[in-house]
Amino acid sequence: MRWIRGGFQLTLAVFLLSSCDDDATTGLSTVVETVAVIPGVFSLVVGDTVRLVTLARGEVGNPVVGPDVVWATSSPSVLTLSATGLATAVGPGAAIVTATIEGKVGTATATVSPNFGTVAFTAVIAGGAHSCALTSIGSAYCWGRSESGQLGVPPPGTTCLDTPLACGLVPFPVDGGLKFERLSAGGAHTCGLTSDGAAWCWGSNSSGQLGDGSLTARSAPVAVATDERFTRIVSGQAHTCAMTSSGTAWCWGHNQSGQLGDGTTQRRTTPVRVVAPGVTFQQIVVGGSSFRGFSCGLANTGITYCWGVNDRGQLGRGSQDFDPHPQPAPISGGYAFRSVTAGFGDHVCGLNAAGAPYCWGGGGSGELGDGGGNDSLLPLAVPGGVTFVQIVTGGPSGDQAFTCGLTSSGAAYCWGSNSAGSIGDGTVGGVRKPVAVTGGLQFESISAGFRHTCGRTMTGTLYCWGSGSVGQLGCNYRVVSAVPLKVAGQP
């Protein structure tokens, strides 16, 4: 039997029931008034079992021992129940368990995820409220929120949140059988590149971010409508950008702030070339919210160019305003970086040649690393003296963003908003200066999403931490975890 979250409640219930002997209950009511099923909420993978127990109480709240229990399930194709309360997961979906004692009913909610067997992953990427990973042969798996098809499968029967929302609590294989070299997870869409550089996307398409010429959401990969072949692809909240081997950048989707870089603010449902005469890009990144998006490109010269919204100085031009900026322009100050990163928030970070981190833009949650609440219109050195080989930005647009960096030894450090435990230091809440992720894991790579972070260790195991309310941690539970949790289904 797999031990599940809420097991401490189960232990407590058994203790209470076993301690309530005849002498302890003498003189107390034996009429059942309320019934509770323990655990009240649980998750299983197909094939798992768990023993459920009941706690019946009388009119003054004392435990009542001995009455017969009648167990029932709302969905026998999802979960079966024995007469003794043994629950067995038989199919993916959700089910309500009822336990009836002397006419009084207690309930529990069960979520069952598919069992896809053991999978070894070579890369992981965190998106808005979903995550995706690649295997060594290029098979893509995704988990988390799925109401728009961003997992690459029809919305699963599993539901999350009080308002039922399709989600996947464990990795689901993306439909279509395509093999990918790269993946990119956006706010509610996902994109990938095949070995020939062809771009495919799936999920939300309300702004044309799938690039297939339509505004129709897709629950399976659809080809981006272009003959261009790409070496990199990145997905934002509502726009997508990609880069060719010759260093040209192309973008599509929402463009209200000029984040596509084509000189206009017109939405594009197919790729348009970023207008940057004489500039050859080595990297492209995207950030911001749906209506306040921006993009940046790192040129071969080490100079960073940004375009789109600049209300918090995220374009690095030494100014801020509310106007769209549809033409790429270099950041001010003459800074040269070897890599840059942007996410769903309002800030950008880069690493210089020595691996020293710099950040600029929105800083309301300390995501710039100084622990303060001020924006920075120019790159600001992250204090602490730690150098990194990778840096990633996460968090929503506004003041709940965060940043993480990875050292050459594989230690992960995070800073900024810890409202959902995405810093990974074992606590939830507050603002952090750079602090090591707890657990002593050595990561090969990390990725930051909306309110969660994922990483692949040097031994090849995926872990995620932070918000998991819609399954984006992939651990088969809906939890907030301030420490790294192993993604289900791995060796």
Q: DSSP string spanning 166-228? A: EEEEEEEEPTT---EEEEEE-SSEEEEEETT--EEEEE--TTSTT-SSS---EEEEEE-S-S-
Chain segment 125-162, per-residue pLDDT in tens = 999 999 999 999 999 999 999 999 999 999 887 878 77
CA distance 219 to 175: 8
Identify the pLDDT of residue 148.
95
Highest mean pLDDT among 8-17, 157-166, 276-285: 276-285
Residue 21 pLDDT greater than 50, yes or no: no
Is the pLDDT at 16 greater than 60? The verdict is: no
Rounded Cα distance, 233 and 283, in Å: 9
Average pLDDT over residues 191-211: 98
E strands present in 5-129: 34-38, 41-45, 49-51, 53-57, 70-73, 79-81, 86-89, 93-101, 104-113, 121-126
Q: What mean pLDDT is predicted for residues 230-237?
A: 98
pLDDT higher at 318 or 372: 318
Per residue in 238-272, pLDDT (tens digit) is 999 999 999 999 999 999 999 999 999 999 999 99
Give pLDDT, residue 338: 98
Whole-number pLDDT of residue 372 = 80
CA distances from 151 to 68, 133, 154 (A): 43, 11, 8
Q: pLDDT digits over 36-70, tens only?
A: 999 998 999 999 999 999 999 988 778 887 778 99
Both tokens of 130, joined, read 């979903």
Give tens-digit pLDDT for 350-392.
999 999 999 999 999 999 998 888 999 999 999 999 999 999 9
Q: Structure tokens of 285?
A: 């990144």
**Nearest-angstrom CA–CA distance, 199 and 223:** 6
pLDDT of residue 22: 38
How far apart are the C-alpha atoms of 338 and 357, rounded to whole Å?
A: 11
Residue 443: pLDDT over 80: yes
What are the chain's domains? 7-113 (2.60.40.1080), 121-486 (2.130.10.30)
Residue 23 has pLDDT above 50, yes or no: no
Task: Write out the H or E segment, with its range, that includes residue 241.
Answer: strand 239-243
Q: Three-class SS of residue 391?
A: strand
* Strand ranges in 324-430 using DSSP code E only, listed in sequence order: 329-330, 339-342, 347-351, 357-361, 376-381, 390-394, 402-406, 412-417
User: In this predicted structure, what is the pLDDT of residue 29?
Assistant: 60
- At CA 200, angle to CA 279 and CA 193, rounded to 5? 60
* Long-range CB contacts (within 8 A, 24+) of 144-148: 144/168, 144/470, 144/471, 144/472, 144/474, 145/188, 145/470, 145/471, 145/472, 147/188, 148/188, 148/189, 148/203, 148/204, 148/217
What is the distance between the alpha carbons of residues 363 and 489, in angstroms, rounded to a whole number? 37
Question: What is residue 28's predicted lDDT score, i.e. its pLDDT?
Answer: 54
User: How far apart are the C-alpha atoms of 219 and 3, rounded to whole Å?
Assistant: 33
Paired tokens of 181: 């070299």
Question: Per residue in 87-133, pLDDT tens?
Answer: 999 999 889 999 999 999 999 999 999 999 899 999 999 999 999 99
Q: What is the pLDDT of residue 60?
A: 75
Share of the chain above pLDDT 90, in %: 84
Give whole-number Cα distances, 410 to 2, 86, 357, 388, in Å: 31, 43, 16, 9
Measured CA to CA, the distance from residue 102 to residue 35 in angstroms comes to 10
Report whether 358 contacts 382 (CB < 8 A).
Answer: yes
State the average pLDDT for the chain.
92
304-308: strand order across its sheet: 281-288, 293-299, 304-308, 329-330
Distance CA 416, CA 466 (A): 13
Interatomic CA distance for residues 436 and 31, integer angstroms? 54
For position 156, what pLDDT does the model report?
82
The residue type of 128 is: G
Q: What is the pLDDT of residue 446?
A: 98
How does residue 31 score in pLDDT terms, banded at 50, 70 and 90? Answer: confident
**Phi, psi at 17, each rounded to 5°:** -70, -40
